[in-house]
Amino acid sequence: MAPLQGEFAEANTFAGATKNGLGHVTRVYGTRPIDPVERAAWLWNEQRRVVRETRLGIPMLVHEECLTGLSAWKAATFPTPLSWGASFDPDLVEEMAGLIGKSMRQLGIHQGLSPVLDVVRDPRWGRTEECISEDPYQVATTATAYVKGLQAEGVHATLKHFVGYSASQSGRNFGPVHAGPREIADVLLPPFEMAVIEGGVRSVMHAYTEIDGVPVAANPAYLTDLLREQWGFDGTVVADYFGVAFLEKLHNIAADLTEAAKLALEAGLDIELPTGDAYLAPLAKGVREGVIDEALVDRAVLRALEQKAELGLLGNTFEDEPPTEIDLDSPAHRDVARRLAEESVVLLSNDGVLPLRNPAKISVIGPNADRLSAMFGCYSFVNHVLSLHDGYDTGIDVPTMREGLVREFENAEFATARGCNIDDQDRSGFDEAVATAAGSDVTVLVLGDQAGLFGRGTVGEGCDRDSLELPGVQRELAEAVLATGKPVVIVLLTGRPYVVGWALERAAAVVQSFFPGEEGASAVAGVLSGRVNPSGRLPVSLPRSTGAQPYTYLHPSLGGDNSVTNLSSKPDREFGFGLSYTTFEHSTLSVHAEDTSSPLVLTVRVTNTGERDGDEVVQLYARDLVGSLTRPVAQLIGYARVSLAAGASTELTFTVPPSRLSFTNRAMNRVVEPGAFEFWTGTCAVPAQVPAEVNLTGDVHTVELGDPRTTHITMGS
């Protein structure tokens, strides 16, 4: 191939591409394994060059992925967002985000493309593992905590994906969204609203999808009217990667890239990422020809400059020195990764075999038994980047599940067999696996997913599924091992909930972990040994069948089991479910209520009635018994994680703002209606047999934009 010459060659070098300055630099650290200190030195030099040698001298803004930690070589990798949801611990998520933000800021990174606020609507969707929960309030509170933690360290968070992405047709990536306006208003939008208004987020990324035929990237009703004019957002709106070009290439609503740029700018999309497919030459062409109003360009540029000013980039000459040493996986990172992993492990069933009592021989079997990548989600550096590069280690200490068990049970004898692969039809390893299990006291069978991109995994972006059965022949392997008659503990390392009712019935115990990160093996092993008392709760319903999808616990009466259909949609385990090695008792809930415009005060006493210390996740639910529109049979309105010693108790007081009982009425106003409500606390979304019933008096109350959205909890003696 002949060497590039002239202007073309110059444009294809970084120096040539930035000779007039640059708005964003895409993933300086996150595209290949490179030493962070070396890369920081390069970045500082490039920033200095841009400041000194370009006409305007404005530094570049650097953005990176940071969903499960900074996506860079040698950086800590935390549990996936589904695990955040399983922990029911926003405070710990905020602490994690603060550590991520500190690492990013030290490396000269200014913006993180996280968190994901899509509410899970159909677990067949590959990006379910990037989501927090099927409950919008839990998504809102957890994601807002992440935003606060990241931005407290001077790094701008970016909300993804505004809005509707997770409600795609048939759980297909990029699929059209057929949600009605009230479903969008009451389920899909509230997390974004809280993160904007209460979290003060500084950047928002559009969703790839269309809603009722209009792609969000070209929809001013969302990107301008709602986001800016109603909610008061004054940050930047950025494109999901290649999203502007997709208006021409995938959505077919633009004849060329010039028209795509025009539609996106008019809608309020300020910055095209990761490249300038539409916002460079095609946009300039449109302005010169009078097709695109130059004022739209000025508006977007001003917003970009305001962001740089806010980040302290304007006037920054980078005379300070880059870091010469940095620990991206410090003891503080490891500690938070451990705590979050431990809090997120969900015990789905247990016939009494757990915790394991000093077994002499343990077999560790299954496709995820000894695979490091099984601990991580799609946007981890290991699976997103490192999988494409040979010859590099992970840069961080990541024990596999087998290694974690060996460390946990130091006196046991171990045998290992893979049995099968994640997602093929090869059964040649079954005989070895069965023999291995038959010779042990207990088998830990580790099944689940491989996160990847666009068909390179069983879950992750572009890795959607028709079936919610475990991939490949994993169920057949499990049934063969179960047939040995020896105790079998099934550990699921997955990025979505699967149909595993058969396992709940036949296995001695089933443990669910949603890609638990670098400390995940230790966390799961700790649950199996009893060192960790399991306290995770399901952030998504565990489906009874694939055919029952899409399903959400937030359904009205006719969305669940009833006498007018012969098919059940009831999940095998409800949202919020999780077992413990101790027991908890909730007293009768007391409710103080005045009218539709006043906060409710609800009090419950929680007691650890078992013989060991443990954490209870107290979940407060409500039901509007008669509404002017159909209402959910259960709706989470508050939750709290409580640590109690054996025999101890505490009183929790929930102060619930009226907005938590509101919904969007026929006039598209958010209101609280007077009438009868039921309230209860529990450990999952199953309605209580004897709830507290309250009649709210007063007029129909309209919830205003600035009204509180968060339930506050206080603990007494």
**546-557 pLDDT, tens per residue?**
999 999 999 999
* DSSP state string for 191-244: HHHHHHHTT---EEEE-S-EETTEEGGG-HIIIIIIIIIIT---SEEEPPTTHH
Digit-coded pLDDT (tens) for 376-435 = 999 999 999 999 999 999 999 999 999 999 999 999 999 999 999 999 999 999 999 999
Residues 349 and 247 in one domain: no
The overall average pLDDT reported for the chain is 96
Residues 71 and 142 in one domain: yes
Residues 455 and 543 in one domain: yes
Percent of the chain at pLDDT exceeding 70: 98
Residue 262 and residue 212 in contact, taking contact as beta carbons nearer than 8 Å: no
Q: 338: which strand partners? A: none
Point out the domain boundary residue: 263, 290, 310.
310
Query: 683 falls in which pLDDT band (50, 70, 90)?
Result: confident
Point out the domain boundary residue: 310, 325, 358.
310
11 has a pLDDT exceeding 60? no
Residues 220 and 162 in one domain: yes
Residue 237 and residue 268 in contact, taking contact as beta carbons nearer than 8 Å: yes
Is 30 domain-assigned?
no
Phi, psi at 602, each rounded to 5°: -120, 135
Tell the residue number behind the tokens 């490192």, with chain if given.
386
Percent of the chain at pLDDT exceeding 90: 94
CATH number of the CATH domain containing 133: 3.20.20.300
Residues 275 and 215 in one domain: yes
Is 43 domain-assigned?
no
Residues 541 and 591 in one domain: no
According to DSSP, the β-strands at 670-672 and 663-664 are antiparallel
CATH number of the CATH domain containing 383: 3.40.50.1700
Q: Which helix (H) or strand (E) holds 339?
A: helix 331-344
Residues 369 and 239 in one domain: no
Digit-coded pLDDT (tens) for 445-498 = 999 999 999 999 999 999 999 999 999 999 999 999 999 999 999 999 999 999
Q: Where on the phi/psi map is residue 6: left (φ > 0), alpha (ψ -120 to 50), or beta? A: left
Nearest C-alpha neighbor of 491 from the set 520, 467, 468: 520
Is 337 domain-assigned?
no
Digit-coded pLDDT (tens) for 468-478 = 999 999 999 99
Is 29 domain-assigned?
no
* DSSP state string for 327-338: -TT-HHHHHHHH
Q: Which pTM was predicted?
A: 0.97
Q: What pLDDT sits at residue 6?
A: 35
Q: How many CB atoms lie within 10 A of CB 230?
A: 12
Residues 605 and 526 in one domain: no
Residues 703 and 610 in one domain: yes
Digit-coded pLDDT (tens) for 652-667 = 999 999 999 999 999 9
* Residue 168 DSSP one-character state: B
Question: What's the angle, vertex CA 692, arms to CA 686 and CA 698, rounded to 5?
Answer: 120
Write out the residue range of the structural domain in which residue 481 sits.
Answer: 342-559
The pair of structure tokens assigned to 644 is 């109690």
Q: What pLDDT sits at residue 4?
A: 32
Is 218 domain-assigned?
yes
Is 637 domain-assigned?
yes
716 has a pLDDT exceeding 50? yes
Q: What pLDDT sits at residue 12?
A: 63
Q: What pLDDT sits at residue 690?
A: 84
Q: What pLDDT sits at residue 7?
A: 36
Radius of gyration of the chain from its Cα atoms, rounded to whole angstroms: 26
- The tally of domains found in the chain comes to 3
Burial class of 317 by CB neighbour count within 10 A (0 to 12, 13 to 18, 19+): exposed
Angle between helices 136-151 and 190-197 (to 10 degrees): 30
Is 362 domain-assigned?
yes
CATH number of the CATH domain containing 608: 2.60.40.10
First to last CA, the chain: 76
Is 632 domain-assigned?
yes
Question: What's the angle, vertex CA 715, arms to CA 710 and CA 717, rounded to 5?
Answer: 165
Residues 463 and 537 in one domain: yes
What is the SS3 assignment for 177? strand
Residues 230 and 159 in one domain: yes
According to DSSP, the β-strands at 156-162 and 111-112 are parallel
Residues 593 and 707 in one domain: yes
Q: What pLDDT sits at residue 165?
A: 98
Digit-coded pLDDT (tens) for 335-381 = 999 999 999 999 999 999 999 999 999 999 999 999 999 999 999 99
Nearest C-alpha neighbor of 637 from the set 258, 266, 123, 136: 136
